[in-house]
A and B are shown apart, each in its own frame.
Chain A
């Protein structure tokens, strides 16, 4: 029996086991929306802005093992989706975005609501397709899901012209896909794995640096086993948080621009580094030449060969899936029963404990002003460390990363690579739908939340009782911090004036709001918000925090990992002098 292209789209999504489709209708996708109306296998979530549909689908992927899906119309619907697509791309998140396109005969004629979606998204997708024949829809969607989740994951766009959704064809969903030009690696090279093990066993100061690839690759258990069995110190990138338990003593905290003193010092002074699904980002190692000025051997496990030796030349590249590669390493280690030299390791740990003893995340408590760090610490306590935390972008994001100790992967959702303000609320919504029983918090700032605040309406409609923890410093705080440090306190356009009354905003959307101005109210209000009485409600917590608080430690532009700006209590520590490294133009 022949069915319409639109019905084929819907059937494909059903075959893929899609639970939620995040979308927004419009002319080019009306046929698909009609087919959605006539089915009940998956639920459509009507967002209030297409960017939010894509962030929600993205967070649905991040917080589950499934692939999030979004649907947008042509033209403005498609362009609104682009920020969301680029966000997922930078963080290697699997996702399928279906966009409507004008009818094939109209393509290229500057038709109403026409944009070259395939062209616009080409640099920020793993792959994209324009489907020109109704007979190709099923194959293409099958490929899209396969490409999105295999190898190094990423977003895939399927652009479908309206006439193609109206034409009819037989529906047949392929059982498997074979793409001759796309064969992602899985198992690592045995010889390289052997070399890696030998290096680790001979190391005097070994260190493991774990990134988003271990979260995406579901390799937290393997990472933990390796760290434990070899007695290694471990650090996670911003994207890797949760891949190794944040509350474990072998965890040194996050590293990088706002990493802990001990995590960064260990990165600089280790002699053998094993990088696991991490990509030596400029926010992590800063200047490559300075990082390598301390000699070290580097092992790098990554599924994407282009991540290896991109910024830093490595000694033992292992192309493969983290889980597979780590399992093989663990098998070999188990059989041989070998361990690194205990004496060397003890010396290394002694050094690390000395660094750790400085407590670089210490902040000055206050009884007058609410310290943002304190709010995150209390949130951690009150949620038992078990909440899924979605974050926006700014200082609050860094405090969330530093003070909420994530023990499980997929618990921490944030835009690391693109740094997209406005990610938090739609992400929290997507994560709540993927995890209906979980406690979901959105840590945000008064700047970021306003970038997608309209989603309070979507949250109402679909009963996603997320808890918004706004660290409201009345500043674009991260920008203000840079202006304080590097632009002579000229706070150009970083003050958030004319803020709305967030409590009233929340109430206007049918939610609950609290404004918290006293440190002594932080804990009781958090308890109430996360307590049983408000379990089913979205709660907006507007914490008026200390406006002048800065994120420490911090590595300035062009400085090295051992040249941090440290918090006030650590200012007398002698650090390596700054030799004016090349400026990499980091941005906030």
Chain B
């Protein structure tokens, strides 16, 4: 099953490679990974999307917690959460495609953030599924380039991940 893990870790050189190294050394999957500093500059927050059986996810969580620089790990799947990912997608926008692309971007609540005579670059935010759905919905042939951030996640309501 797909799980979203939120990890609070020391904002130190090498901490990221320890996390990534752990996944490759123990043959765990990383579907996506995002990381950046938090409001507290000494801490980074990472979101890892992974999949595996319950036993594997339990081991991943335990192994992550074992890393000295990891302060806290939570599995967002354990309760209500919000997930967002951003995608920038550059599409061919000529002839009849130009109107169609604008329409599709609107339907998916995307924004066209760069325009040339032949292309649009659309910014789209949502769950990873939604971004996938957008790609499915448009004609493959018009896609020139995509770049996705990978999912970030946060618990709903008053639940917070803090030290």
Q: Which residues of A contact B (CB under 8 A)?
A: 118-119, 122-123, 126-127, 130, 147, 179-182, 304-306, 309-310, 313
Q: By the criterion CB–CB under 8 Å, are B68 and A123 in contact?
A: no
Q: Which of A179, A309, A310 contacts B68 (CB 8 A)?
A: A179
Which of B18, B58, B62, B65 is in CB contact (< 8 Å) with A122? B18
B151: Cβ under 8 A from any A Cβ: no
Contacts of A182 in B (CB 8 A): 68
Could you jot down 18 A-B contacts, CB within 8 Å? Answer: A118-B14, A122-B21, A123-B25, A126-B68, A130-B14, A179-B68, A180-B71, A180-B163, A181-B10, A181-B70, A181-B71, A182-B68, A305-B62, A305-B65, A306-B59, A306-B62, A310-B59, A313-B55
State whether the Cβ of B97 lies closer than 8 Å to any Cβ in chain A: no
Judged by a CB distance under 8 angstroms, whether B63 is at the interface is yes
- Does residue B9 face the partner (Cβ distance < 8 Å to A)? yes
Q: Let me know if B81 is at the binding interface, CB within 8 A.
A: no
In the assembled complex, which residues on chain A have CB atoms less than 8 Å from the CB atom of B68? Answer: 126-127, 147, 179, 181-182
Task: Note all chain B residues with C-beta closer than 8 A to A126.
Answer: 68
Q: Tell me, in angstroms, the Cα distance from A81 to B21 when the chains sit together.
A: 20
| Complex interface residues of chain B between 1 and 59 (CB less than 8 A to chain A) | 9-10, 13-14, 17-18, 21, 25, 55, 58-59
Say whether B69 faces chain A, with CB atoms less than 8 Å apart.
Answer: yes
CB distance from B40 to the nearest CB of A (A): 11
Q: Once the chains bind, are A119 and B17 in contact (CB under 8 Å)? A: yes
Contact residues in B for A304 (Cβ distance below 8 Å): 66
Q: Provided the pairs A180-B163, A181-B71, A313-B55 are in contact, do residues A306 and B21 lie with their beta carbons within 8 angstroms?
A: no
Pair B9/A181 contact, Cβ less than 8 Å: yes
Chain B: minimal CB distance from A451 (Å) = 26
Distance between A120 CB and nearest chain B CB, rounded to angstroms: 11
Q: In the complex, how many angstroms separate the beta carbon of A94 from the nearest chain B beta carbon? A: 14
Closest residue of B by beta carbon distance from A151: B66
Complex Cα distance, B13 from A409, in Å, reads 39
CB contact under 8 A between A306 and B9, given known A122-B18, A123-B25: no
Within the complex, the shortest CB–CB distance from B66 to chain A, in Å, comes to 6
B residues near A306, Cβ cutoff 8 Å = 59, 62-63, 65-66
- The CA of A118 and the CA of B15, in the complex, are separated in Å by 11
Q: Which chain A residues lie closer than 8 Å to B9 at the CB level? A: 181
10 A-B pairs closest in CB distance? A306-B62, A181-B71, A127-B68, A123-B25, A305-B62, A182-B68, A122-B21, A306-B63, A306-B66, A181-B69
Cα–Cα, bound, A147→B21 (Å): 20
Contacting pair A309 B55 (CB below 8 A): yes
Closest residue to A306 on the B side, CB-wise? B62
What's the minimum C-beta distance from B27 to chain A, rounded to whole angstroms? Answer: 12
Q: In whole angstroms, how far apart are the Cα atoms of A188 and B76 in the complex?
A: 27
CB <8 Å contact, A122 and B17: yes
Cβ of A395 to closest chain B Cβ, rounded Å: 31
Closest to A143 in B: B68
Inter-chain CA distance A181–B68, complex, in Å, is 6
CB distance from A358 to the nearest CB of B (A): 37
Q: Which residue of B lies closest to A124 (CB)?
A: B25
Residues of B within 8 A of A313 (CB): 55
Residues on B with C-beta less than 8 A from A180 are 71, 163
Q: Which residue of A lies closest to B8 (CB)?
A: A181
Distance of A310 Cα from B66 Cα, bound (Å): 14
Q: A130-B14, A305-B65, A306-B66 are in contact. List 11 more A-B contacts (CB 8 A).
A: A122-B17, A122-B21, A123-B25, A126-B68, A127-B68, A130-B13, A147-B68, A180-B71, A181-B9, A181-B10, A306-B63
Interfacial chain A residues near B69, Cβ < 8 Å:
181
Query: Of the candidates A130, A147, A181, A309, which one forms a contact with B58 in the assembled complex, judged by CB atoms under 8 Å apart?
Result: A309
Set of chain B residues within 8 Å of A123, measured between Cβ atoms: 21, 25
Question: Closest chain A residue to B25 by CB distance?
Answer: A123
Taken together as a complex, chains A and B put the C-alpha atoms of A451 and B125 apart, in Å, by 59
A219 to B58, CA, bound (A): 28
- Note all chain A residues with C-beta closer than 8 A to B63: 306
Query: Which partner residue on chain A sits nearest B69 by CB separation?
Result: A181
* Cα separation A140 to B62 with both chains bound (whole Å): 25
Report how far A309 CA is from B163 CA in the complex, Å.
27
Contacts of A309 on B, CB cut-off 8 Å? Answer: 55, 58
Question: Chain A's nearest CB lies how many Å from the CB of B48?
Answer: 17
CB proximity of A425 to chain B, nearest CB, Å: 30
B73 to chain A, nearest CB (A): 11
Please measure, in the bound complex, the distance between the C-alpha atom of A305 and the C-alpha atom of B61, giving whole angstroms.
10
A-chain residues with CB within 8 Å of residue B55 when the two chains form the complex:
309, 313
What residue of chain B has the Cβ atom nearest to residue A118's Cβ? Answer: B14
Give bound CA distance, A119 to B18, whole Å: 9
How distant is the Cα of A306 from the Cα of B66 in the complex, in angstroms? 8
> How far, in angstroms, from A367 to B15 measured CA to CA in the complex?
62
Compute how far the CA of A100 lies from the CA of B25 in the bound complex, rounded to whole angstroms: 26
Residues of A within 8 A of B59 (CB): 306, 310
B10 contacts which chain A residues (CB < 8 A)? Answer: 181
Assembled-state Cα–Cα distance A95/B71 (Å) = 24
Cα–Cα, bound, A126→B63 (Å): 12
Q: How far is the CA of A458 from the CA of B71 in the complex (A)?
A: 44
How many Å from the CB of B81 to the closest CB on chain A? 23
Distance between Cα atoms of A118 and B68 in the complex (Å): 14
Residues on A with C-beta less than 8 A from B66 are 304-306
Least distance between B105 CB and chain A CB atoms (Å) = 43
B-chain residues with CB within 8 Å of residue A127 when the two chains form the complex: 68
Interface string of B108-127 (1 = CB under 8 A from A): 00000000000000000000
Report the Cα distance A122→B55, complex, angstroms. Answer: 24
Minimum CB–CB distance for B7 against chain A, Å? 11
**Chain B residue, CB-CB nearest to A305:** B62
Q: Using CB atoms, name the residue of chain A closest to B42.
A: A180
Min C-beta distance of A314 to chain B, whole Å: 12
A118: B residues at CB distance < 8 A: 14
